[in-house]
Amino acid sequence: MPEHARQANIPMSRVDGNAAAGPLGEILRIDITTAVATCRHCGDAAALSEAIVERDAEGVIMLCRSCGHTLVTYISRAGRQYLEFAGLKSLTAASSRS
């Protein structure tokens, strides 16, 4: 388990990146799991559906499957949504227009 999860002592489940589709789709209005993310730390590029996701009642943290660093953080609390892409070098999504 990553250090941040141990420090907070918050019960958390780990699943794959598909679990972030609903919460992140509320803000981005795209299927974020098909977007290709490049990790700022190790340079690995993969669909976000391949990321490791830690979930709790307030949000999700998406981790790079290659190096374990945080790619995306999403929190929904008190009617506000917070989204951070601090661990991404780039994010490429296909256009939803036909």
pLDDT tens-digit map of 69-81: 999 999 999 989 8
Residue 64 maps to a domain: yes
Residue 45 maps to a domain: yes
The pLDDT value recorded for residue 98 is 46
Total domain count, the chain: 1
User: Which two structure tokens, joined as six digits, stand for 74?
Assistant: 């999403």
Residue 97 maps to a domain: no
* pLDDT higher than 90, residue 3: no
The pLDDT value recorded for residue 73 is 94
pLDDT tens, position by position, 39-54: 999 999 999 999 999 9
Q: Which residue has the higher pLDDT, 82 or 27?
A: 82
Residue 71 maps to a domain: yes
Measure the CA–CA gap between 37 and 47, rounded to whole angstroms.
6
CB atoms near residue 20 (< 10 Å): 24
pLDDT band at 10 (very low <50, low <70, confident <90, very high): low
The pLDDT value recorded for residue 42 is 97
Q: Residue 11 sits in which domain range?
A: 3-92
Residue 24 maps to a domain: yes
Please name which of 35, 7, 6, 38 lies closest in space to residue 20, comparing C-alpha atoms.
Answer: 35
The pLDDT value recorded for residue 20 is 80
* pLDDT higher than 70, residue 35: yes
Q: Residue 6 is inside which H or E element, if any?
A: helix 3-8
